[in-house]
Amino acid sequence: MLDIESLISDFPILDRKVNGQRLVYLDNAATTQKPMPVLMASRHYYEAVNSNIHRGTHFLARLATDAYENARKTVARHLHVLDPREIIFTSGATDSINLVAQSLARSGKIGVGDEILISTLEHHANIVPWQMLCEQTGAILRVVPCAEDGTIDEVAFHQLLGKQTKVLALVWISNSFGVAHPIHRLTAEAKKSGALVLIDAAQAAPHMTMDVPAIGADFLVFSGHKVYANTGIGVLWGRADVLDSLPPWRGGGEMIKEVTFEKTTYNELPFKFEAGTPNIEGAISLAAAFDYLDELGMDEIRQHEANLLEIAAQSLTDSVPGIHLYGPAERTCALSFGIEGIHHYDLGTLIDQMGVAVRTGHHCCQPLMARFGITGTVRASFGIYNTEKDVDALTSSVHKAVSMLR
């Protein structure tokens, strides 16, 4: 069991008052707050370590290089990945997906008539980079539909998957509806048919154990800021043999072995994909965040948040007439809803005045909103520091706002 009270005291921002009220932060799917060990890791880096890495001979350069490469090892360990060279630091999930799409575009492995398969639940970050790849290569984007409860249509998935499918790119957990895709099963099917598989774990990473090799995919991506670390850091995990077979995307320092004006040879993994000075402090903060989460236990975190989601779904249903909850009964991380006759933006604005932070709108999933004939939802998303008191605050603020707006 998580000791929530002591955990809350690790997050200084949760002491803030919003409009004179206790802050009830339920926008964790957008970004998470940062605990003291993460804040201290960043501060310590700039106070005692700061230097550029890899090519320096001096003391601080060695210290910073060790800290950065140790961070890579910590991330690998957290993901159950044996080879840290498979961890590429990026600026976030979006950057990681663009890296894969653009390396593939440059590789010549994708051609006219090849297909990229995604699902209706994808975030724009897992749609637009593939559309750009399609424009560049003549490939075609195919989309697996979802059922009324937001779960993927597996019959359609099997119909759409074929020899022409070169990439399956799937979100693990939908940021909009909290739906979990059965990624292990779908990955196995796609691998059987010869496709490369990319998993967007942006919303899985904060909430569950990620045994990455057990998924069987080729790539997995996520962002640091959603796992209680800094913004501007993210991860692309890729299978070493697949990454080795791809050309780099960005060129510059660090990613080279030798440069002449006639020809450049490229560095080995992971440096081949990390052009320029990386976000050293961000990587260190990510390692501190994973150490913090591992100390709490990912299974305990998942259980705690699942419990809150269940209570929130029930209490909103019981106390708010005309509410519609999106997604299946079993959700992870996010609870999205709409209320008959009330615009999501108005509701979000009113409950903010009561100290409750939720997100409203399309959640960067416009095609998903279009599928359900809506322009947006209200989304409450949970993190490790949320409590039943926060759920009560959500329910009563929504109840109050609805009676004001009706």
Closest distance of CB 400 from ligand PMP, Å: 28
* 223 binding ligand PMP? (CB under 6 A): yes
- For residue 216, the SS3 value is coil
Site string for ligand PMP, 361-390 (x = CB under 6 A): ---x--------------------------
Tell which one of 10, 200, 218, 281 touches ligand PMP (CB under 6 A).
200
Tell which one of 23, 79, 81, 93 touches ligand PMP (CB under 6 A).
93
C-beta separation of 169 from 118 below 8 A: yes
Q: 271 is written with which tokens?
A: 């440096």
Which amino acid is present at 19? N
Choosing from 134, 146, 364, 365, the catalytic residue is 364
Closest distance of CB 380 from ligand PMP, Å: 15
Which of 228/315 has CB closer to ligand PMP?
228
Tell which one of 127, 152, 190, 202 touches ligand PMP (CB under 6 A).
202
* 171 binding ligand PMP? (CB under 6 A): yes
364 given a catalytic annotation? yes
At 222, which helix (H) or strand (E)? Answer: strand 219-223
Instruction: Considering only residues 251 through 290, tell me which ones interact with ligand PMP, judged by CB under 6 A.
Output: none
Site string for ligand PMP, 116-135 (x = CB under 6 A): -------x-xx---------
Instruction: Considering only residues 60 through 79, tell me which ones interact with ligand PMP, judged by CB under 6 A.
Output: none
Dihedral of the CA atoms 263, 266, 267, 270 (nearest 10)? 160
- State the DSSP string of 8-42: HTT-GGGG-EETTEE-EE-BTTT-----HHHHHHH
C-beta separation of 364 from 123 below 8 A: yes
Closest distance of CB 364 from ligand PMP, Å: 6
What does DSSP assign to residue 194? T
Candidate ranges 89-97, 127-135, 210-218, 354-362; the one touching ligand PMP (CB under 6 A): 89-97
Which of 56/361 has CB closer to ligand PMP?
361
Nearest to 331 by CA among 112, 150, 180, 195: 180
Which of 123/166 has CB closer to ligand PMP?
123
At 341, which helix (H) or strand (E)? Answer: none
* 92 binding ligand PMP? (CB under 6 A): yes
* 351 binding ligand PMP? (CB under 6 A): no
Which of 29/99 has CB closer to ligand PMP?
29
Nearest to 183 by CA among 196, 167, 170: 170
Report CA Rg, the chain. 22
Strand partners, 338: 324
* 34 binding ligand PMP? (CB under 6 A): no
At 139, which helix (H) or strand (E)? Answer: none
196-200 and 264-266 strand pairing: unpaired
Closest distance of CB 340 from ligand PMP, Å: 27
Dihedral angle sign, alpha carbons of residues 230, 388, 22, 357:
positive
Residues tagged active-site: 364
Q: Which residues bind ligand PMP (CB under 6 A)?
A: 29, 92-94, 123, 125-126, 171, 175, 200, 202-203, 223, 364
